[in-house]
């Protein structure tokens, strides 16, 4: 993200929820999914599965929701590549609000998150190494259940 990025706020000073990715990126992903749907394939994240294997019928819009548009909410700006120099951690499961300030590097962001005991899931903080691993990957699941114990997706990732 841009070093000058300031997440939008409402009239009371609270962060406004924002969708992951720019509007342009969301439209491109939706259109790719719709094209695959027409070919009989359902796109579930990075997975491609035959619709018939999942017993899926109906339109792509019924499956994935309407094509993204500006009237559906706020999206991240579509910065030029040269301006994508900084990092910020967002909570994206419920509403897409920042949980950190904008930082100059992945390492600085991981250090800030660990030092401030920022929850990775519920009230579970993570270590610098665990945060850095999730930042480098670009995301982490909300949580894992390991031997009957719930752990954050940042802490439970085996690449840490």
Residue-wise pLDDT tens digits, 126-145: 999 999 999 998 878 888 88
> How confident is the model at residue 157, as a pLDDT?
65
The pLDDT tens digits of the residues spanning 78-118 come to 999 999 999 999 987 777 889 999 999 999 999 999 999 99
Q: How confident is the model at residue 158 (pLDDT cuts 50, 70, 90)?
A: low
Does residue 160 carry a pLDDT above 50?
no
Q: Which residues contact 45 (CB under 8 A, 6 or more apart)?
A: none
3-state secondary structure of 81: helix
Helix axis angle for 128-137 and 106-115, nearest 10°, is 140
| 29-41 confidence digits (pLDDT tens) | 999 999 999 998 8
Residue 13 clears pLDDT 70, i.e. is over it: yes
Q: Where are the domains of the chain?
A: 19-73, 81-156
Tokens found for residue 130? 């665990």
Residue range 53-83, pLDDT digits in tens: 777 778 899 888 899 988 777 888 999 999 9
Report the alpha-carbon distance of residue 143 to residue 152 in Å, rounded.
4
């Amino acid at each position: 993200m841009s070093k000058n990025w300031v997440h939008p706020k409402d009239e009371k000073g609270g962060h406004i929820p924002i969708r992951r990715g720019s509007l342009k990126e969301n439209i491109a992903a939706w259109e790719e999914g719709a094209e695959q749907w027409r070919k009989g394939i359902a796109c579930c994240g990075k997975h491609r599965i035959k619709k018939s294997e999942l017993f899926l019928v109906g339109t792509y819009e019924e499956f994935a929701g309407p094509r993204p548009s500006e009237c559906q909410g706020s999206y991240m700006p579509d910065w030029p590549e040269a301006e994508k120099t900084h990092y910020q951690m967002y909570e994206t499961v419920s509403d897409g609000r920042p949980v950190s300030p904008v930082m100059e590097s992945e390492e600085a962001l991981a250090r800030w998150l660990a030092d401030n005991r920022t929850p990775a899931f519920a009230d579970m903080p993570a270590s610098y190494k665990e945060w850095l691993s999730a930042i480098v990957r670009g995301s982490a699941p909300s949580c894992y259940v390991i031997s009957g114990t719930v752990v954050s997706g940042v802490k439970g990732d085996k690449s840490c």
